[in-house]
Amino acid sequence: MASKIHCDIVSAEKSIFSGEVELVVAAGTEGDLGIRAGHAPLLTALAPGPVRIVTEEGHEDIFYVSGGFLEIQPDIVSLLADTAQRARDIDEAEAEQARQEAQRELEQHESAEQHSIALAQFAEASARLRTLHQLKRRR
């Protein structure tokens, strides 16, 4: 059995990562997934949050994805997200401000639609902050 698998992380705008990895850890909508070479084929939705990869050299890198899909095939793991970025590129102050604004909107919503939009914005901002905190813990 091979000890590495190819991983592609792609956003709607561009490819964020492509390379051989030992491990991928992602937040699926049904729970966290750890993927190594030899994993069974799978297609699942991704929840907003961090994705951690460990390269074949042992280097760890953390990415943020806004949701999307994860597909596992025998030789490749593909993460397709609307938005994806390296955790180190996230502006913490901007993410915190977005979370606070969404929190205010949640408290002041005037309709079910506005509440749903504010809830989604709050979840995304919180997921960005969770990704940053995971990066800081790894350092």
| For residue 133, pLDDT beyond 90 | no
Nearest CA among 48, 45, 44, 61 for reference residue 7:
61
pLDDT tens, position by position, 66-103: 889 999 998 999 999 989 999 888 888 888 888 888 88
Structural domain boundaries, residue 75: 5-87
Are the C-beta atoms of residues 73 and 120 closer than 8 Å to each other?
A: no
pLDDT tens, position by position, 30-59: 889 999 999 999 999 999 999 999 998 889
Largest CA distance in the chain: 56
Q: 73 and 94: one domain?
A: no
Q: What is the pLDDT of residue 16?
A: 94
| For residue 10, pLDDT beyond 60 | yes
Q: 117 and 53: one domain?
A: no
Q: 80 and 99: one domain?
A: no
Residue predicted with more confidence, 16 or 109: 16
